[in-house]
Chains A and B, each alone.
Chain A
């Protein structure tokens, strides 16, 4: 049987200080290979200042069909948003 090596997910930080964003996947047999392939595939035009690679099998994901129930706890807590509060008229810089 042929092998196409393991599947890794690639996360790129565009500028230092920014968030790491999922860019795509690569096939590689070890972490150094995964990192180099990710560099060659996803940062050929200076798209990145740093890269994370992680084995796809190590990612735990929520289920789309459970989304409603899963995210339910956030639905009734509008007081977490600043717009919930009434500010006294005339108050500045708040």
Chain B
């Protein structure tokens, strides 16, 4: 298509790889698609603090505890960058949180799994954040300016997360037989849910059409999943971990790994709210949102008081 044939300034910008900014005119469906995607991304960062927070008091050393605290603080920060990006689309923070509490907005499925041992903290950093990075690097090229800028900032910070996770796994794999077993067990439990993070196969992905047309999404679920598998298999091998997929095999033709079937039944069950921790995650968020209400009210009251004094 030639640029001149495109009707709206919006289409012309998308075609020319220019970013769409908050005050540009945009199709309503584009705006709603972004609100859904960015808010789900923001909620994931915030809910993702819970499984990690579970291990702050039991981190095996002061060093590990400091690092974990810093990482959790980063996740909270990432949530805030993303909420701000969503707000530029004309939705308030109050509405975004309400949608989460009413179950109208979702968060990443992965955080509905429990963190049973310290090795799970390693597996989350290495695999879950590793998968998130693959996805977020691709999203740096997304067509909506504020979302793209948030992705650049987040990617810069995430690589520490992945490396600290991999370091935990590597350390445990050099430890006692029991520690090695613990690391392998975490690997076994987090591998498949990490692959599911990229979403359904391209042949079965309900939101992809518009997202590609508008350049919100730049790479398909399967492409990103493949990228993640190909780089992670080697890292597992280096520290002596086994990928829990007997069908995993190098494919010379495509220069990538083939993998066994993903259990989409489990994926659907967890999305539908039947994962091991769905209820706990939401109740925790609602509880602390209410517990913080008086702080917000006090801050507002202080603002009113100051403005009458000035």
Contacts and interface: CB of A to CB of B under 8 A. Distances in A.
- Same complex: yes
Interface of A: 1-7, 24-30, 33, 40-41, 44-45, 61, 63-65
B153 interface: yes
A2, A4, A65 interface centre (most CB from chain B within 10 Å): A2
A7 B86 CA distance: 13
Contact of A3 (B24, B153, B296): B296
Contact of A5 (B84, B97, B293, B299): B299
Given A4-B97, A64-B23, 19 more contacts: A1-B94, A2-B293, A3-B94, A3-B297, A4-B93, A5-B300, A7-B87, A24-B153, A25-B84, A26-B84, A30-B299, A30-B303, A40-B73, A41-B77, A44-B70, A44-B73, A44-B77, A64-B21, A65-B9
State the 7 A-B residue pairs at the shortest beta-carbon distance, nearest first.
A29-B299, A4-B93, A25-B84, A29-B303, A64-B24, A2-B94, A3-B296
Given A4-B296, A29-B302, A63 B94 contact: no
16 contacts: A2-B94, A2-B293, A3-B297, A7-B87, A24-B150, A24-B153, A25-B84, A27-B93, A29-B302, A30-B303, A33-B299, A40-B77, A41-B80, A44-B77, A64-B24, A65-B25
Contact of B302 (A3, A30, A65): A30
Contact of B23 (A30, A40, A61): A61
B185 interface: no
B84 A4 contact: no
A24 B306 contact: no
B81 interface: yes
A90 B87 CA distance: 58
A34 B97 CA distance: 21
B80 A26 contact: yes
Contacts of A7: 87
A61 B88 CA distance: 14
A1, A27, A40 interface centre (most CB from chain B within 10 Å): A27
A26 B23 CA distance: 19
B15 interface: no
A42 to B, nearest CB: 8
Nearest to A63: B23
A70 B87 CA distance: 27
